[in-house]
Amino acid sequence: MTACNRLAEGGRRFFLSRGAVAAAGAAVAATAVPLADAQAEPAPARLTYATTRLANISELKVNEPLSITYPDADSPGVIIKLGTRVVGGAGPDGDIVAYSTMCPHKGFPLVYRADDRTLNCPGHYSRFDAEKSGLQIWGQSTANLAQFRLAVGANGDITATGVDELIYGRISNVLA
């Protein structure tokens, strides 16, 4: 089974469970979060992301997506060597990109179309361009697709270092 097919299969499984909703927590009286101690260290302005090895460049084949997760195991994504240089592409050829594969509209899993290098949502038909930093070609998301920032080491290891949009289903890209 190719990576593309695995993504599609994963998409179907996930999609079939679309009715699932988060279990509601117990009804407890409202409690405000206490303000931070005035003496505490100031928090950094931005989230601190894990630097995570996603793959080695030798594992990538042109236009064949590889499933990854980032910034943690609950956040599926995909890394693709497009074969042509793109804005925001990483690696010696400037053609490696990585994206979240949870649709930023409703969280259904995106499926990669190799024929036009797009990520597609079977839930509500949104389409994102993998060659245009995740621009939504058409769809219901109010954001373009979250892209993972990449760095490529001398040994060909590809690491993710951050994310440029809020990932679906999180109030913080880095979960507590």
Partner 1 sequence: MAFKRNIDRLPIPPRDAKVHNVTCHFCIVGCGYKAYSWPVGGQGGTAPNQNAFGVNLAQQQPADSPAWYSPSMYNIVKQNGRDVNIVIKPDHECSVNSGLGSIRGARMAETSYSATTGTLSARLTDPQVWRYGGMVPSSWDDAIGLVAEVTRRVVAEQGEDGLIVSAFDHGGAGGGYENTWATGKLYFESMKVKNIRIHNRPAYNSEVHGSRDMGVGELNNCYEDAQLADTLFVVGANSLETQTNYFLNHWVPNLRGNTLDLKRREMPNEPHAAARIVVVDPRRTVTVAACEAEAGRENVLHLAINSGTDLALFNALLTEIAAKGWLDRAFIAASTSGFDAAVTANRTTLEQAAQITGLTVAQIRQAAEWIAQPKAGGARRRTMFAYEKGLIWGNDNYRTNQSLVNIALATGNIGRPGGGCVRLGGHQEGYSRPADGHVGRPAAYVDQLLIGNRGGVHHVWACDHFKTTLNASEFKRAYKRRTDLVKAAMDSVPAGDRAAQIDAIMGAIRQGGLFSVDVDIVPTQIGACAHVVLPAATSGEMNLTSMNGERRMRLVERYMDPPGQALPDCMIVAKLAQGLERAWRSAGNAAVADKFKGYDWRSEEDAFEDGYRKHERGGEHVTYARLRAMGTNGFQEPATGVQNDRIVGTKRLFADGRFNKPDGKAVFASTQWRGLQAEGKQAEKEKFRFLINNGRANHVWQSAYLDQHDEFLRDRFPLPFIEINPADMAELGLAQGDLVEVYNDNGATQAMAWPTPSAKRRETFMLFAFPTGVQGNVTSKGVNEFIIPNYKQTWANLRKIADAPEGVRHLSFKRQDYRPVT
Judge contact between 78 and 101, C-beta under 8 A. yes
Would residue 105 show up in a list of annotated catalytic residues for this protein? Answer: yes
Judge residue 118's burial from the number of C-beta atoms within 10 Å of its C-beta, 0-12 exposed, 13-18 middle, 19 or more buried.
Answer: buried
From 146, 136, 176, 134, select the one nearest 69 (Cα to Cα): 146
- Active-site option among 13, 53, 124, 175: 124
Q: Which stretch binds partner 1 (CB under 8 A): 58-66, 93-101, 105-113, 151-159?
A: 105-113
* Total Cβ atoms within 10 A of residue 158: 25
Tell me the three state secondary structure of residue 105.
coil
88 or 91: whose CB is closer to partner 1? 88
Report if residue 98 touches partner 1, rule: CB under 8 A: no
Q: Which stretch binds partner 1 (CB under 8 A): 18-26, 54-62, 91-99, 152-160?
A: 18-26
> Can you tell me which of 3, 91, 127, 156 binds partner 1, judged by CB under 8 A?
127
- Site for partner 1 (CB under 8 A): how many residues? 76
